[in-house]
Amino acid sequence: MTDLLVNVSRAQFAATVVFHMIFPSITVGLSVFLAVMYAGYVWTGKGVFLAIYRFWLRIFAVAFAIGVVSGIVLTFELGLNWAGYADAVGPILGVIISMEVVTAFFLEAGFLGIMLYGEGRVSPRVHLFATCMVALGTLLSATWIISANSWMQTPAGYTRVGGQFQAVNWTAAILNPSFIYRFPHMLLAVLISTGFLIAGTSAYYLLKGIHLDVSRRAFSLALGAISVLLPLQLYMGDTLAFAMFNFQPPKMQAVEGNWGSTNTGYNVFVVPDQAGQRNLVQVAIPCLGSIIGRDLACHTAFPGLARTPVADQPKMVFPFWGFRLMFYLSILMFAVMASSIVLRLRRRLYGTRWFHRFAVWMTPAGTLAIIGGWTTAETGRQPWVAYGLLRTVDAVSPLSPPLVVVTAASFVSLYAGLFGIFIAYYLRTVRRGPVDFGDAVRIGDRVYEPAVTGASGGQATVPPGDPAPGPGKDAA
Amino acid sequence: MTAPTPVVFAWLGMAVFSLVMYVCLDGFDLGIGMLLLLPRQGTDRKEMVEIVATAWDANESWLVLAGIALFGGFPLAYSTWLPALYVPLVAMLLALIVRGVAIEYQSQSERYDPAWGAVFAFGSLVAALCQGAIAGAVLPGIPVANRRFAGGPFTFAHPLSILTAAWLVGTYLLIGAAWLNDKTSGELQAWSKRVLRRGAAPVPGLAAAALLLGFVTGHGAPHGVSPRLSAVIAAALASGAFFWAGARATRGTADSLPFVWNELALLSVALGFAACTYPYLVPPTVTFWQAAAPATTVNVLLIGVGCCMPIVLAYNAYAYHVFRGKFVIPLPTQVVAMAPPRRMRRRSSPAATATLQASIAGVSETVTPLAWLRNVGWVAVWVVLYFFCLGAFGSVLGDRGTVAGILVLIAAMVAVWILTDRRDLVP
């Protein structure tokens, strides 16, 4: 009975957290991108920035709303399904998440109304400020949440009184050992995944040959950002993986996909048999494991999961395949980025159709890689909820299992529906395309918002009574 | 802890404050959502959704703060309340999800979409019912054994929780109508005034009945019945008076007054409920200081959250200030006076632009095998350089070399990015 309860409670949490993660993985980066675009518009008055801003705002608004409401669910699930966890870690994680709420959640929610509906009610500069505050809020939110999760991975700065954890050193608890590695990794990940979303969407327009001004600008910007961030990300990911070997050996043993400790190769495909403590299928590239371990002579083997007592082992299949999903996608993302640099230098970035098709297919790559990474982090920590201290079995709420089955099924079906609707909305918005704008027009000391280009020929909107901007007179 | 310290008391105040803020603020947008169940024409409905759209997200933040205030400050209450209230809470969360998503889809659509409108309205109704049921489910007591909830999934169902659900729905409807009265004009405003006047009779009755039942079933006030009884009677009378004043104020000229009166009525009923259970946070046995987290935690919570709270309140007030007054849908092409952009003077000649366009558009699509091989070669060279910079052959460069390599790589990427943009994109 307890097994069933733990499994359905975990399944429900996994389903709700994976669904939630899809949205921050694009909205954190999008909020930064939107702030940059609006700053570009306020700074230069170019309509192309406004067109990009307005277009992505439509997608951001809905994705952000889904991210917020699905995030609220997670906060409550900590108590609903994991009462033992809430009671034990509340005195530490409750503080970290409280700080998230007052410094980040409120900030983004408070300024979101102005960002989405404030145009025309506040000046462009105030609007830019609101947009920046939303971006800052999403970044701070990610910081606190990664800190809280990292504490569960590498608890620090605590003492245990009865069943409860108490902080003895807040700095050590918040800046816990794995936070230092995991925060930059996640930050880069969300920015890169947004980059692929924008690049893929822009590539669609380049393929169709429509909205070229807008899509070239966004395509170049997204790929440019990716090519700056991806080198850092590969380095961070590699550093984090090696740090994890010290923090949580069982997780990395499972990631490498070995049971024994003699394999110097790198496993690319494994079907593990947890009960038999062996692999049913195992495909490895010889010596690559050793080379990744910085031993070019092919003598170093990664330790296997059999070194961990069976009661403390995670289920190998999840960390292994979660990690492989992230790793294989990172190779493809690297291919996009390396090709983009060569195409850029050869002046073919906007004219190479295979590359645009590739980019369209890679639209969800970053988000999928993030889900893979989180699957590795969370399932690899099992059977602990706070690593080495609190077992998942002891954390679960004493609910009746059928009840949790019903709620888990409700969440899964609702989320499946919402996900389908969101994808349909995204595709419809992309098909409708951005509204193209002319540039802002300056007459005397006043500047007028750009008009929609088309029949009016890109003239700015000028109120009756003001002198009409004639050709050549614009931009002073 | 055996007695309440001032810090724990203050933190209880913070938790109650955020819960009250949530009920008062999200109350009006849940109420407007439920008002959509009543017949109105599409343009009015669209307007009602747009009024909610600017504020719902900020309002729901208070719910998260209230929950987290319990999680951090009173973990025992959080870990027993939530499993005890599992059914109404999960139903409320599901309702809040569909409702929030419906608002944004509705707001992105050009005209009123009846399907999303129905989702929004029913989501609001279910959320309000669940919140009311939760309010009434805690008072009769939560069975706890060994720091864990020890009841069943339907322990929450109680005559009191049914009564409070009905009361809260009624109150939210009134608050929603009062907010509409403040935000709209013309026919919609006249309609919301009618709703306010009609609701003024049944809702105070429900409130008084719920308070009475709460008094009978509640476990509060260990020092005898009389202070608790007087508090409950005072709350019932005050709420009745405030509801009445709210209905009367609809005839006046100050459009925000009915909202204020109805909020005060809600507040007095809420305080009456608090009096029924004080000082028990998990009735009938656990007081709030017994449920509190260790002193180190509550101190840090109070300092951290307390310092941020004035800023939070300030920008929330500013956001309401931006959307103050009667609601108007902004014109699609509104003129704004922007500060003169500094770089607007720099413009390239039309001839140069045309050359650039041609050079981009004119790229040949046919790729000969030789050209293709050359490109692949470039990519290969690039990949080797890349991994060299990343220190994959780390023994050559060492740790410092790796950092230097990454910096060089990033500088190169930025340079390529900027230079090609200047060359290829129309300025």
Chain B interface mutation, best of A214, A235, A336, A356, highest count of B Cβ atoms under 10 Å: A235
Chain B residue at shortest CA distance from A460:
B335
Listed ranges B11-15, B374-378, B407-411; the one with the highest mean pLDDT: B11-15
Question: Counting Cβ atoms within 10 Å, is residue A99 exposed (0-12), middle (13-18) or buried (19+)?
Answer: buried
Rounded (5°) CA angle A106-A109-A113 = 140
Distance CA A465, CA A448 (A): 14
pLDDT at position A299: 81
Rg (CA), chain B: 30
Which chain A residues are within 8 Å of B315, Cβ to Cβ? 106-107, 110-111, 133
Tell me the torsion sign for CA atoms A18, A20, A23, A24. Answer: negative
Q: Is A157 left (phi over 0), alpha (psi -120 to 50) or beta?
A: left
Question: What single-letter amino acid sits at B249?
Answer: A
* Phi, psi torsion values for B140, nearest 5 degrees: -70, -10
Cβ A45–B344 below 8 Å, yes or no? yes
Chain B residue at shortest CA distance from A115:
B54
Higher pLDDT, B225 or B187: B187
Instruction: Note the pLDDT tens digit of each residue in B136-164.
Output: 888 888 888 888 888 888 888 888 899 99
Instruction: Note the pLDDT tens digit of each residue in B299-349.
Output: 999 999 999 999 999 999 999 998 888 887 665 444 444 544 444 444 455
DSSP string, A274-303: TTTTEEEEEEEETTHHHHHTT-TTS---PP
Cβ B417–A445 below 8 Å, yes or no? no
Check whether B364 has a pLDDT greater than 60: no
Distance CA B353, CA B238 (A): 73
pTM to 2 decimal places: 0.89
| Tens-binned pLDDT, residue by residue, of chain A (476 aa) | 678 999 999 999 999 999 999 999 999 999 999 999 999 888 888 888 889 999 999 999 999 999 999 999 999 999 999 999 999 999 999 999 999 999 999 999 999 999 998 887 888 888 999 999 999 999 999 999 999 999 999 999 888 988 889 989 999 999 999 999 999 999 999 999 999 999 999 999 999 888 888 899 999 999 999 999 998 898 888 889 888 989 999 999 999 888 888 888 888 898 998 888 888 888 888 888 887 777 777 888 888 898 889 999 999 999 999 999 999 999 999 999 988 988 888 888 888 888 999 999 999 999 999 999 999 999 999 899 999 889 998 889 988 899 999 999 999 999 999 999 999 999 999 999 888 777 776 665 556 667 666 533 444 444 444 444 433 333 33
Instruction: Name the residue among A87, A112, A121 with its Cβ closest to that of B75.
Output: A87
Nearest to A28 by CA among A111, A107, A141: A141
* Distance of residue B161 Cα from the nearest chain A Cα, in angstroms: 19
Which chain A residues are within 8 Å of B312, Cβ to Cβ? 102, 106-107, 110
Structure token pair of residue B331: 């014109």
Cβ B343–A83 below 8 Å, yes or no? no
pLDDT at position A444: 58
Cβ A107–B63 below 8 Å, yes or no? no
Check whether B396 has a pLDDT greater than 70: no
Which chain B residues are within 8 Å of A64, Cβ to Cβ? 104
Which chain B residues are within 8 Å of A116, Cβ to Cβ? 53-54, 107
**What is the number of other CB atoms lying within 10 angstroms of the CB of residue A52?**
29
Nearest to A316 by CA among A262, A267, A361, A366: A267
Instruction: Name the residue among B148, B335, B424 with its Cβ closest to that of A463.
Output: B335
Instruction: Name the residue among B86, B301, B334 with its Cβ closest to that of A399.
Output: B86
Which chain A residues are within 8 Å of B148, Cβ to Cβ? 83-84, 397-398
pLDDT at position B378: 81
* Phi, psi torsion values for B91, nearest 5 degrees: -60, -40
Cβ B420–A234 below 8 Å, yes or no? no
Check whether B391 has a pLDDT greater than 70: no
Distance CA B95, CA B85 (A): 15
Cβ B97–A399 below 8 Å, yes or no? no
The H or E element that residue B287 is part of is strand B286-287
Structure token pair of residue B207: 């409130």
Cβ B64–A72 below 8 Å, yes or no? yes
pLDDT at position A265: 83
Instruction: Note the pLDDT tens digit of each residue in A285-331.
Output: 888 888 777 777 788 888 889 888 999 999 999 999 999 999 999 99
CB-based contact B270:B129 (threshold 8 Å): no
Chain B interface mutation, best of A342, A437, A446, highest count of B Cβ atoms under 10 Å: A342
* Distance of residue B337 Cα from the nearest chain A Cα, in angstroms: 5
pLDDT band at B360 (very low <50, low <70, confident <90, very high): low
Structure token pair of residue A380: 């690899």
Instruction: Name the residue among A68, A79, A410 with its Cβ closest to that of B94.
Output: A410
ipTM for the complex shown: 0.88
Interface of B with A in 51-70 (CB under 8 A): 53-55, 57-58, 60-61, 63-65, 67-70
pLDDT at position A442: 64
| Lowest-confidence pick of A319-323, A438-442, B59-63, B356-360 | B356-360
* Peptide bond between residue A383 and the one before it cis (omega within 30 degrees of 0): yes
Cβ B361–A351 below 8 Å, yes or no? yes
CB-based contact A112:B56 (threshold 8 Å): no
Structure token pair of residue B174: 């009134």
Interface of B with A in 228-257 (CB under 8 A): none
| Lowest-confidence pick of B319-323, B361-365, B380-384 | B361-365
pLDDT band at B356 (very low <50, low <70, confident <90, very high): low
Cβ B363–A111 below 8 Å, yes or no? no
Check whether B94 has a pLDDT greater than 70: yes
Interface of B with A in 388-417 (CB under 8 A): 389-391, 394-395, 402, 406, 409-410, 413-414, 416-417
pLDDT at position A458: 42
* Distance of residue B382 Cα from the nearest chain A Cα, in angstroms: 7
* Distance of residue B19 Cα from the nearest chain A Cα, in angstroms: 14
Which chain B residues are within 8 Å of A87, Cβ to Cβ? 75-76, 78-79, 147
Chain A interface mutation, best of B21, B92, B93, B416, highest count of A Cβ atoms under 10 Å: B93
pLDDT at position B343: 47
Residue B3 carries which DSSP code? S
What's chain B's average pLDDT? 83
Instruction: Name the residue among B82, B108, B338 with its Cβ closest to that of A447.
Output: B338
Question: What single-letter amino acid sits at B210?
Answer: A
* Phi, psi torsion values for B282, nearest 5 degrees: -120, 85
